[in-house]
Amino acid sequence: MTNSDWTPDQPLVSIKDVHKSFGDLEVLKGVSLDVRQGEVICIIGPSGSGKSTLIRCVNALNTIDSGSIKVEGIEVNDPGLDKLELRKNVGMVFQQYNLFPHKTALENVMMAPIKVLKQSAEEVEERAHALIKRVNLVGKENSYPGELSGGQQQRVAIARSLAMNPDVMLFDEVTAALDPETVNEVLLAIKDLAQDGMTCILVTHEMGFAREVADHIYFTDRGIIVEHGPPATFFTEAKDPRTREFLSQIL
Amino acid sequence: MNAFQQYFYDLAQTYPKWNFIYFYDPVQTWRVVDGLWMTIQLSVVCVIFSVIIGVVGAWAQGAHSKTLRLVMQGYIQFFRNTPPLVQLMFFYFALGQFTPTYAPDGWVEVPIISNVGWAIISLSFFAGAFNVEIFRAGIEAVPESTQEAAEALGMNRLQIYIYIVLPLAFRVSLPALNNNLVNLVKTTTQALAIAVPELLYQMISIYNDYSTAQNACMLFLFFAYFLLVGILVLGMSRWERGMRIPGYGA
């Protein structure tokens, strides 16, 4: 449970032989992967292949049945897990944005640092303004989520997550629910993050984006990682027939 | 007697069925004022307690403990499926026998819970049972995914409940809560059965003493409750409007 033995030269997120079932349905059948600090990885694959479940396990929104997930040395698969300690390090952005509808954009960003980390409101507000600016939403601070477009809401969600100063960000199909014209503004925000050295794990169907920002791409199907590699070779030299079939359908 | 009192005095002389005695006899005026004040106090206190019971009960219903959930279910079924009048009488006459007494003047034994106390307890639990169900429905309307986002930000169950679930559930629950509180205010009249000197009790006392005042008393009762509930509804709908979130819900 302690993360004292973790050093930055080790993988920030280390997933080893993870198994997970929902009832009789085994969605993860021994998945292993490592993410180093500053690395951006994309997980792609057909729906139902366990991608979302996998990243939801990384911040303990789902529990795992066996195997190990370590985030900066904190073992997620531990009954005595300090969830707060874990979630301080791991930010997450969801497909449906999931903003707090009764709070303005700025309040959404400020809430967790104040209520969870007990930081001073003034200091947090200053940081929140900077984050709003970073995701290009100056002027929308006092808008409620219901008054914002999907793309704007998703950018608020990214800022909200960043306000906790996480070391790794999880993106769970964050553009899948968006109108095509707003997809780009969200991708730009993520790209900006990635270029700043944020460690990111993305589940995505945006192949062009994956090719552009990812350091490593993983293709999952039916609960296993079928194939992985850097984008330069992954898209052109896929070896497994399942990967090739998937890519041919989607590209 | 001033002109106003004189007018109603003369009216009673001319038409004995319309004896608005509380308008010209100061003793009766005070009975009405006392009754009205008691009704208002009873209503306000019961509204507050029943809402607290509703919030805590809805929380308990979502608890992991099966025993706690079962106890809540039993409580709700009991208070929802039995008449409030019977509950009042049961609390005061049956349970009242077992409450400890004290003697303030060293002579007469007085139970520590008065009839007003029992009315507050009984009516609060009665309305509270409905409030639990109302709030639970509101809580169920808060999307799981919104709570998950809060969880991912490191909030614990209590923080999620206080900062996310309750504020959203409350907005959904307000119309139903509104109805239940209106009912509660009207049900306070049943405290008459255990001699709580609220408005109905006082008005009946007046026309028992002055039978010609009966029609006037009934008229006043309708008028007073119409106004009281009207104020409550007005306040609730203003609150509802004030809590409305731009771009969310209806």
Segment A205-237, tens digit of pLDDT: 888 889 989 999 999 999 999 999 999 889 888
Q: Is A1 domain-assigned?
A: no
Mean local confidence (pLDDT), A141-169: 94
Percent of chain A with pLDDT over 70: 98
Q: Which residue of B has its CA nearest to A92?
A: B152
Paired residues of A216 in beta bridges: A41
Length of chain B: 250
The closest CB to that of B154, out of A88, A102, A144, belongs to A88
Helix (H) or strand (E) holding A30: strand A25-35
Q: What is the DSSP letter of B195?
A: T
Which domains, from first to last, does chain B contain? Answer: 17-100+113-243 (1.10.3720.10)
Q: Does A128 touch chain B (CB under 8 A)?
A: no
Segment A190-208, tens digit of pLDDT: 999 999 999 999 999 888 8
Separation of alpha carbons A80 and B158, rounded Å: 19
Query: What ipTM does the predicted assembly reach?
Result: 0.89
Q: Does B247 touch chain A (CB under 8 A)?
A: yes
* Residue A228 amino acid letter: H
Q: Which residue of A has its CA nearest to B159?
A: A115
User: pLDDT band at residue A7, thresholds of 50, 70 and 90?
Assistant: confident
Residue A129 tokens read as 């303004």
DSSP sequence for A102-155: TS-HHHHHHHHHHHTS---HHHHHHHHHHHHHHTT-TT-TT--GGGS-HHHHHH
Predicted pLDDT of residue A123: 94
The closest CB to that of A87, out of B152, B171, B247, belongs to B152
Half-sphere exposure of residue A61: CA atoms within 13 angstroms, side-chain side: 26
Q: Is A2 domain-assigned?
A: no
Q: What is the DSSP letter of B4?
A: H
> Which residues span the domain enclosing A230?
13-250
Min Cα distance A232 → chain B (Å) is 33
Min Cα distance A235 → chain B (Å) is 32
Q: Which residue of A has its CA nearest to B150?
A: A112
Q: Does B154 touch chain A (CB under 8 A)?
A: yes
Predicted pLDDT of residue B202: 96
Backbone angles phi, psi at A170, to 5 degrees: -105, 130
Predicted pLDDT of residue B219: 96
Backbone angles phi, psi at A102, to 5 degrees: -95, 5
Question: In chain B, what residues touch A63 (CB-CB under 8 Å)?
Answer: none
Nearest alpha carbon to residue B51 among B116, B151, B147, B129:
B129
Cβ neighbours of residue A112 under 8 Å, at least 6 residues apart? A160, A163, A164, B150, B153, B154, B155
Average pLDDT value for chain A: 91
Q: Is A6 domain-assigned?
A: no
- CB–CB contact A160 B153 (8 Å): yes
Q: Does B165 touch chain A (CB under 8 A)?
A: no
Domain count across chain A: 1
Cβ neighbours of residue A239 under 8 Å, at least 6 residues apart? A227
Question: In chain B, what residues touch A161 (CB-CB under 8 Å)?
Answer: 152-153
User: pLDDT band at residue A1, thresholds of 50, 70 and 90?
Assistant: very low
The CATH number given to whatever domain includes residue A172 is: 3.40.50.300
- CB–CB contact B164 A100 (8 Å): yes
pTM over 0.90: no
Q: Is A207 domain-assigned?
A: yes
Q: Is A223 domain-assigned?
A: yes
Q: Where are the alpha helices (DSSP H) in chain A?
A: 51-58, 83-89, 105-115, 121-134, 150-162, 180-195, 207-213, 231-234, 241-250
Segment A26-71, tens digit of pLDDT: 999 999 999 999 999 999 998 888 899 999 999 999 999 999 999 9
Cβ neighbours of residue B143 under 8 Å, at least 6 residues apart? A98
Query: Are the CB atoms for B194 and B206 separated by under 8 Å?
Result: no
Predicted pLDDT of residue B63: 81
Question: In chain B, what residues touch A94 (CB-CB under 8 Å)?
Answer: 145, 148-149, 152
Length of chain A: 251
Predicted pLDDT of residue A3: 56
Q: b/e for B117-134, b at 16 or more Cβ within 10 A?
A: bbbbbbbbbbbbbbbbbb
User: pLDDT band at residue A4, thresholds of 50, 70 and 90?
Assistant: low
Cβ neighbours of residue A221 under 8 Å, at least 6 residues apart? A45, A46, A49, A242, A246
Q: How many CB pairs under 8 A join A and B?
A: 77
Segment A78-92, tens digit of pLDDT: 888 899 999 999 999
- Interface-testing mutation among B144, B153, B174, with chain A (most A C-beta atoms within 10 A): B153
Q: Is A110 domain-assigned?
A: yes
Q: Which residue of B has its CA nearest to A112?
A: B153
- CB–CB contact A115 B155 (8 Å): yes
Cα diameter, chain A: 55
10-residue mean pLDDT profile of chain B (250 residues): values are 92 93 95 96 96 92 89 94 96 89 84 91 96 94 94 92 91 92 96 95 96 95 96 93 78
